[in-house]
Amino acid sequence: MSKDKKMEGIIKKLLKEKKIGFIKAKDINQDIFFHFNDVKNKEFLKEGAKISFKLEENKRGYTAKEIFILEQEKYVKSNLNNILKNEEISNFNLKLNKYSYAKFIMKDENTIKDIELKLDRIPNLNKFLSEDLYHKFISRYVSAIKNLENNTHIVREKRFKPEYKLIIGLGSPSIYEVSMTLHHIYGIPYIPGQAIKGVLRNYVINAFKCFNLNEEERLEIAKKISNNKELKNFEELGKEERQKVYKETSKEKENKALKDELFKFVFGSQDNQGNIVFFDAFPDGEITIDIDIMNNHFPEYYDKGNPPTDWQKLNPVKFLVVKNTPFRFFIGMKKGINMPPDLKKFGSEELITTKDELINYIFELLKEALEFNGIGARTSIGYGYLSSNQGR
**pLDDT digit string, tens, across residues 290-335:** 989 888 777 788 777 888 888 887 778 889 999 999 999 999 999 9
CB 64 within 8 A of CB 23: yes
Does a structural domain hold residue 312?
yes
For residues 280 and 328, give the distance between their C-alpha atoms in angstroms, rounded to a whole number: 9
Question: Is the model's pLDDT at 1 over the cut of 50?
Answer: no
Question: Is the model's pLDDT at 367 over the cut of 70?
Answer: yes
Mean pLDDT of 168-180: 87
Please give the residue that has the higher pLDDT: either 93 or 181: 181
At residue 127 the predicted structure's pLDDT band, cuts being 50, 70 and 90, is low
Mean pLDDT of 213-237: 85
Q: Left, alpha or beta for 188 (phi > 0: left; psi -120 to 50: alpha)? A: beta
Does a structural domain hold residue 302?
yes
Q: How many domains does the chain have?
A: 3
Please give the residue that has the higher pLDDT: either 77 or 384: 384
* pLDDT of res. 78: 54
What is the percentage of the chain residues whose pLDDT exceeds 90? 52
Does a structural domain hold residue 23?
yes
Question: Is the model's pLDDT at 33 over the cut of 80?
Answer: yes
Does a structural domain hold residue 2?
no
* pLDDT of res. 83: 53
Question: Is the model's pLDDT at 105 over the cut of 80?
Answer: yes
Greatest mean pLDDT range, 68-72, 218-222, 245-249, 372-376 = 372-376
> What type of residue is 322?
V
Q: Are residues 19 and 57 in the same domain?
A: yes
CB 196 within 8 A of CB 332: no
At residue 391 the predicted structure's pLDDT band, cuts being 50, 70 and 90, is very low
Greatest mean pLDDT range, 84-88, 130-134, 190-194 = 190-194
Q: Are residues 144 and 112 in the same domain?
A: no
At residue 390 the predicted structure's pLDDT band, cuts being 50, 70 and 90, is very low
Q: Are residues 362 and 313 in the same domain?
A: yes
Q: Are residues 61 and 82 in the same domain?
A: no
* pLDDT of res. 130: 62
Number of helices (H), then strands (E), belonging to the chain: the values are 9, 16
* pLDDT of res. 5: 76
Q: Are residues 61 and 93 in the same domain?
A: no
| 209: containing domain | 131-391
* pLDDT of res. 354: 94
* pLDDT of res. 219: 87
Greatest mean pLDDT range, 51-60, 106-115, 128-137, 373-382 = 373-382
Q: What integer best gives the mean pLDDT of the chain?
A: 87
Does a structural domain hold residue 1?
no
Question: Is the model's pLDDT at 233 over the cut of 70?
Answer: yes
- The phi, psi pair for 345, rounded to 5°, reads -65, 150
For residues 176 and 170, give the distance between their C-alpha atoms in angstroms, rounded to a whole number: 10
Other Cβ atoms within 10 Å of 106 Cβ, number = 19
Which of 42-51, 107-116, 182-191 has the weakest average pLDDT? 107-116
Q: Are residues 114 and 206 in the same domain?
A: no
Q: Are residues 155 and 100 in the same domain?
A: no
CB 114 within 8 A of CB 120: no
At residue 392 the predicted structure's pLDDT band, cuts being 50, 70 and 90, is very low
Please give the residue that has the higher pLDDT: either 92 or 270: 270
Question: Is the model's pLDDT at 77 over the cut of 70?
Answer: no
Q: Are residues 243 and 262 in the same domain?
A: yes
Q: Which helix (H) or strand (E) is 368 found in, with range? A: helix 355-372
Mean pLDDT of 116-137: 72
Mean pLDDT of 217-236: 85
Last-in-domain residue among 69, 87, 107: 69
DSSP state of 61: E
Question: Is the model's pLDDT at 80 over the cut of 60?
Answer: no
CB 145 within 8 A of CB 330: yes
Last-in-domain residue among 121, 150, 182: 121
Last-in-domain residue among 27, 52, 69: 69
Q: Are residues 84 and 167 in the same domain?
A: no
For residues 333 and 278, give the distance between their C-alpha atoms in angstroms, rounded to a whole number: 9
Q: Are residues 91 and 19 in the same domain?
A: no
Q: Are residues 114 and 139 in the same domain?
A: no
Please give the residue that has the higher pLDDT: either 125 or 356: 356
Report the candidate in 159, 263, 261, 165 with the shortest Cα–Cα distance to residue 206: 263
Question: Is the model's pLDDT at 79 over the cut of 60?
Answer: no
CB 160 within 8 A of CB 168: no
Q: Which CATH number do you get for residue 57?
A: 2.40.50.140
* pLDDT of res. 227: 87
For residues 72 and 28, give the distance between their C-alpha atoms in angstroms, rounded to a whole number: 24
Cα of first residue to Cα of last residue in the chain, in angstroms, is 83
- One-letter-per-residue 3-state SS of 146-162: HHHHHHCEEEEEEEEEE
* pLDDT of res. 159: 95
Triad 128, 132, 136: Cα angle to 5°: 100
Q: Are residues 34 and 182 in the same domain?
A: no
Does a structural domain hold residue 81?
yes
* This model's pTM is above 0.75: yes
For residues 234 and 212, give the distance between their C-alpha atoms in angstroms, rounded to a whole number: 17
At residue 178 the predicted structure's pLDDT band, cuts being 50, 70 and 90, is confident
